[in-house]
Amino acid sequence: MPGDTEPVLHTSGIVEVDHDQFVVSNDDTDTLDVQAKGTLIEVGPGFLSTYTGVSYGPARVTVQVWQAEPAAEYDNWEVVEQSVITASAAIEVRSLDGRPSDGVGRIPAGTYRVRAHARGRDTSISQEVTEPVEDYLFQFWPTQLDDLAEPPVVATLKKTDRAWSDEQPNDTELWPDRSMIYARDENGLTRKVDPESDLGRAARALKLAYGGRPLEGKLTDQTYAKALAFLDRPLVDWLAQQGDEMLDEFKAFCVRTCFAVSGLDNYPRVNEWADRAIAQRRLHEDYFDLAERVKWDPTIPKRTVPGVPSRRESLQQYEAVKTLAGFYELVPFDSLHRALETYMCALDTFGMDGYEEFIAKLKDRFEISDE
């Protein structure tokens, strides 16, 4: 019978990861209403969210719906978690901003057990990718409403990857804590908080307000604008009005300033990358490779910095190199996207303690009005 030996629905495609996550939900679900969380998924009424290794970019996803519980096959997966979800309407794999995945079919309304599998999350942690490096499999099968009598839990059935883990790094490796975000409390003090805490949710809600009004025009589909507009909306609006030449000047200023604050300008072989990219308005090397070389270079001191509001802490020197992303033309994005990406990496370089001063420098240098 279908469902006993094979799924009644088997569909695969690509989803765009945004801010280290993607979701299975619909337009009516509140994905902030988390009731249980693991190291791969978190669940709430009518949805599940998935924690990824990459911060941005495509990921491969397969969804199966079965009539009965499928056989457990964990060998090809690095992490497997299971929970319960009920959906009053059909749900689908989508990005955080609601964009449906490419090619993945919808899951009918119902009450399900769901088993989530993932591999590849350690490949490009906290990076933006242009090709998929992570795979996900979601298996749904019907369960009784009685299973929802108690609050749901997320059971971890297997975990061999390091992503979203509580394990401590070894002594030779700096590993930013990606389980917590930074926010300011009512007294203006910096706090490191769980994303699902009251303060964490407030920080996320502030971010989604985009600085007080919806994004318009060129900014509407800009991922980084959605993440950063709330920090200084006039600056982001100004970027959207600029031509390529001014955006190049903006990127160059970000790169120079970040190399200086991180100390990378003291290393000629590293500073040469910035000199060449700025002079040619183009970076020929893959900036992720350059960032990895700095990360693992024992002669370059590294330090972690607390994230700007709603973001996680970062490795300062790593993020400083990533400001070169704006000159990496092999990635097919428009000039505004590149400038916003450089701006985001620059903010991550300065972190909570320095980002406001950095924004002030940008606005002074480019005469950006607050109006």
pTM over 0.85: no
pLDDT of the residue at 165: 78
Cα angle, residue 227 at apex, residues 129 and 315 outer, rounded to 5°: 60
> Could you tell me which residue, 288 or 224, shows the higher pLDDT?
224
Q: Is the per-residue pLDDT at 56 higher than 80?
A: yes
What fold, for 9-159?
Substrate Binding Domain Of DNAk; Chain A, domain 1 (2.60.34)
In this structure, what token pair is assigned to residue 230?
A: 């709330």
Please list the residue range(s) of the chain that carry CATH number 2.60.34.30: 9-159
Please count the other Cβ atoms lying within 10 Å of the Cβ belonging to residue 315. 23
| Residue pLDDT, tens place only, 17-48 | 988 899 999 988 888 888 898 999 999 999 99
| Residue pLDDT, tens place only, 77-131 | 999 999 999 999 999 999 988 889 988 999 999 999 999 999 999 888 877 888 8
pLDDT of the residue at 66: 96
pLDDT of the residue at 3: 44
Q: Is the per-residue pLDDT at 170 higher than 60?
A: no
pLDDT of the residue at 169: 44
> What is the C-alpha to C-alpha distance for residues 84 and 97, in angstroms, rounded to an integer?
24
In this structure, what token pair is assigned to residue 46?
A: 């009518």
Highest mean pLDDT among 132-141, 157-166, 294-303: 132-141
Least confident of 78-87, 294-303, 344-353: 294-303
pLDDT of the residue at 163: 85
**Does residue 42 contact residue 83 with C-beta atoms inside 8 Å?**
no
| C-alpha of 118 from chain center | 16
- Of the candidates 139, 153, 166, 137, the residue with the CA atom closest to the CA atom of residue 62: 137
> Could you tell me which residue, 168 or 193, shows the higher pLDDT?
193
Instruction: Name the burial class of residue 221, with classes exposed (0-12), middle (13-18) and buried (19+) by CB atoms within 10 angstroms of its CB.
Output: exposed
| Enclosing H/E stretch for 190 | strand 190-193
Mean pLDDT of the chain: 89
| Residue pLDDT, tens place only, 244-263 | 999 999 999 999 999 999 99
**Does residue 139 contact residue 68 with C-beta atoms inside 8 Å?**
no
pLDDT of the residue at 107: 95
In this structure, what token pair is assigned to residue 150?
A: 């108690």
- Of the candidates 286, 284, 326, 288, the residue with the CA atom closest to the CA atom of residue 123: 288
Return the DSSP state at 48.
Answer: E
pLDDT of the residue at 114: 97
> Could you tell me which residue, 295 or 320, shows the higher pLDDT?
320
Q: Is the per-residue pLDDT at 143 higher than 80?
A: yes
Cα angle, residue 335 at apex, residues 330 and 336 outer, rounded to 5°: 135
pLDDT of the residue at 277: 87
Percent of the chain residues past pLDDT 90, beyond the cut: 62
Q: Is the per-residue pLDDT at 308 higher than 90?
A: yes
Please count the other Cβ atoms lying within 10 Å of the Cβ belonging to residue 171. 5
